[in-house]
Amino acid sequence: MPASYAYLGPEGTFTEAALRTLPEAATRELIPYVSVQSALDAVRGGEAEAAFVPIENSVEGGITTTLDELVAGAPLMIYREVLLSITFALLVRPGTKLSEIKTVSAHPAAQPQVRNWLKKNLPDAHWESAASNADAARLVQEGQYDAAFAGEFAAALYGLEALETGIHDAENAQTRFVLVGRPARPAAPTGADKTSVVLWQRDDHPGGLRDLLGEFATRGINLMLLQSRPTGAGIGNYCFCIDAEGHISDRRVAEALMGLKRICLEVRFLGSYPRADATEDEVRPPLRGTSDDEFVAASDWVARCQDGRF
């Protein structure tokens, strides 16, 4: 396996900036790809050891392109996550004035994060989506658009200047990125972990989603992401992408997954990995009986009953 990481490129994306915060990135060749799909396919095809892609932002929620790629195709697994605070700069060719900007470009996920600024400062500008914010900067350099919303650090890469900086509609906006590789044994639990799965119902029925969520709730497991995605099998057919607190080696998490496996048509395990915010997993009162010790004690009791030792 090549010692390389694929990432959503080109150079100068927020994805690259987040990737470079990982210590192991310094020992890998970092290869930009034109899309999330091509980066993940590089891992599936053995061209890269892992791929680093955006999966969620605090303004719009899950990045549907990434979620859909993890739902479909050969299974992949999340190994790490990174949180990056996001503010945009308006990048233009040198000498461009704000009044001269008629077209702007960025990744579609950027638009909700700058919508109000755009309405106030460039109400007549036409928006064009790009494969990434850095690609939008490249297109401005080539003269296709007048301005791009991207990281200020991308300006020097593409011979542009930052006409405006610190652009964001929501304070403390963050994007979550994940390092994705081929399936393998998850890293050991840290006590501050997250487990990701995709769930498919056997059939559509009243209370179906409640049944799925109940497997977590009865074991005191908090959910951090719940997003439905169409399966492609017709209107009303959805699967559910879920992030839950805890690690698959935690008894309460393992039992929840076993319960889901019994009632779901399919469960895809996407990994257990350290939380980027390092917040420790919490067993919440007043839900009793959800600690690992209590699960072990209950399992031992059942075994004694089966042996007639109760």
How do strand 223-230 and strand 264-274 relate by DSSP bridges? unpaired
pLDDT, tens digit, 9 for 90 and up, residues 104-115: 999 988 998 999
Integer Cα distance of 24 and 17 in angstroms: 14
- The pTM of the full predicted model, rounded to 2 decimals, is 0.85
Class of domain 1-86+173-184: alpha beta
pLDDT, tens digit, 9 for 90 and up, residues 98-138: 999 999 999 988 998 999 999 999 999 999 999 889 999 99
Closest by CA to 80, choosing from 269, 212, 301, 276, is 276
Average pLDDT over residues 293-300: 82
In three-state secondary structure terms, 64 is: helix
What is the reported pLDDT for 205? Answer: 83
What is the reported pLDDT for 289? Answer: 66
* pLDDT score of 306 more than 90: no
pLDDT, tens digit, 9 for 90 and up, residues 54-65: 999 988 888 899
* pLDDT score of 20 more than 70: yes
What is the reported pLDDT for 41? Answer: 97
Average pLDDT over residues 164-175: 90
* pLDDT score of 165 more than 90: yes
Q: pLDDT averaged over the chain?
A: 92
Domain with CATH 3.30.70.260 in the chain: 187-285
Domain with CATH 3.40.190.10 in the chain: 1-86+173-184, 88-167
In three-state secondary structure terms, 114 is: helix
Closest by CA to 6, choosing from 171, 173, 178, is 178
pLDDT, tens digit, 9 for 90 and up, residues 236-287: 788 999 999 999 999 999 999 999 999 999 999 999 999 999 888 876 654 5
Give the 3-state secondary structure percentages of the chain, helix then strand then coil, rounded to 5.
30, 30, 35
Class of domain 187-285: alpha beta
How do strand 193-201 and strand 238-245 relate by DSSP bridges? antiparallel
What is the reported pLDDT for 286? Answer: 46
* pLDDT score of 1 more than 80: no
Domain 88-167 sits in CATH 3.40.50.300: no
What is the reported pLDDT for 284? Answer: 65
| Between 309 and 168, the higher pLDDT residue | 168
How sure is the predictor about 2, in pLDDT bands with cuts at 50, 70 and 90? low
